[in-house]
Structure 1
Amino acid sequence: MATSKVIEDPESRFSAVLVGAAKLPGVRINREAYLRKALARYCSEDDIRRAIEETPAAAGIPLEVLDKAAGDSINYEATKASALSAAAGIPGLLFIPTTVPADVAQYFGHMLRIAQKLAYLYSWPDLFEDGDDLDDATKGVLTLFVGVMFGTQSANAAVGKVAAMMSKQVAKKLPQKALTQGVVYPMVKKVAGYLGVQMTKQTFAKTVSKAIPVVGAVVSGGLTLATYLPMAKRLKKHLSGLELTKPTPRVVEGEVVEVGEPVAEVVD
């Protein structure tokens, strides 16, 4: 009875897929290694070091630079997700019961990969800093990120609330209470339920696309590319517009001759 209820509950269905996808090899992004690689083409070593130790915003990295790095990551992940989806489409109708769950899991795995990359570029904290377990706060914020990718307004609003809390408190960790029992938690549950319904529809679409070998591979890969790219760009647009990502001017002690008093001098 309990198992049946979990299967029928869209919220629980999505949460199970999210947790499963987060456990797949290669899904979790090392924040330090990623930022170092993503910013290497655009930033000095000092800026990269500060971006890692604090945030890209605290390092004063311009938004246009972050947008370029984000675009590079989106194109890389979209190409990779499409190729793997096409490969999963080759076996055809006979192997649908095994390939479809695997394809859905890897698809969501790639969504989590790009969500982490965009979050780190746009000054969110390390989502897996405390170890291998997917804690409730991290699960909540990842649910919201995926919700933004699916175009849900409630997810947009919730992500904005979380970002505002972190920006106001200059926090280096997710607001645990807000995401697990506070003002944002009901929105997380609502978004998870919506995504569970959408996931079922997506699974059906992928099943149909895999019914014919080879042709199924082309359709499946194309379907992934056609959906993944705009979804990743939607999250990029939303995160880049938040207060959290705005560059923070660096302040050092200086002296203004006309006044004769030490003042704060802004360094570009």
Structure 2
Amino acid sequence: MQIQKSFESNRTVGTLFVVPTPIGNLEDITIRALNTLREVDFIAAEDTRNTKKLLNYFEINQSLVSYHEHSNQQREQMLIEAMQNGKNVALVSDAGMPAVSDPGNPVIEAAIKQSIPVVVLPGANAGLCALVASGLDTNHFYFYGFLPRKSKDKKATLQRLSQLTDTILLYESPYRVKETVAELYEYFGNRSVVIGRELTKRFEEYVRGTLEEIIAWTDTGTVKGEFCLVIEGIDNESVMENNWWKDLSIEAHVNHYVQQEQLSSKDAIKKVSVERNIQKREVYQAYHINNK
């Protein structure tokens, strides 16, 4: 067990400050964030060029080191050793909260393992802005971030997410948003969805509608900038309908598609693996072992 008292004054080690930065509007940075960036010994940045622009705007003259998703363990160890020697470090990403769909988590984990205090400052976050502005349920939500790039992994993820009753938050690039919205319709049906584009910036835009309407919008609207997608969760009645098979064994589930829908055993196994969100290998073994 570990107990962190974030602001003890008699510590010999430094502190890792996780500092959110604006996602588009520089006025969204907090006074505390600015003071922290001025007072730490140095700043670990996802891209030192981008962070330098932010520091220059606020007239902060601070040492920068690069820390990003491709940084090696040697760079991580350098940061840890600096804090073990009493140095205070600020961790920033290009925009928003570090470690949330951004680099930072490995050095945070390493600091915690070495009993180095990790102090997180509040600040800008695109996902929460989009959620609150969506008009969808904010009591319970599930943040996923960016979907997998590989088609197989992406489809498996969408199948799993489609069964959540909570509001779902996704991030997407302008190059993939049209494809992703079409896939959402395929797996989620015609649910309510809200797209937030260029949040906090001059051309901020929210598009609210059904997935069918959003698909049409991607053909005529402005598909530029970074996107947040907020998707309505499935209702409990639909969950019951979609999980009609929950009392069936895997063997009976496969046999249903073989006998009732005339699918081949191969296709039936594939469909069952998607519906149950398990590996095809597991379905194959359960079906063929029981059908010997």
Higher relative CO (Cα under 8 Å, sequence separation at least 6) belongs to 1
Give the alignment's TM-score, normalised by structure 1.
0.25
Greater helix percent: which structure?
1
Greater strand percent: which structure?
2
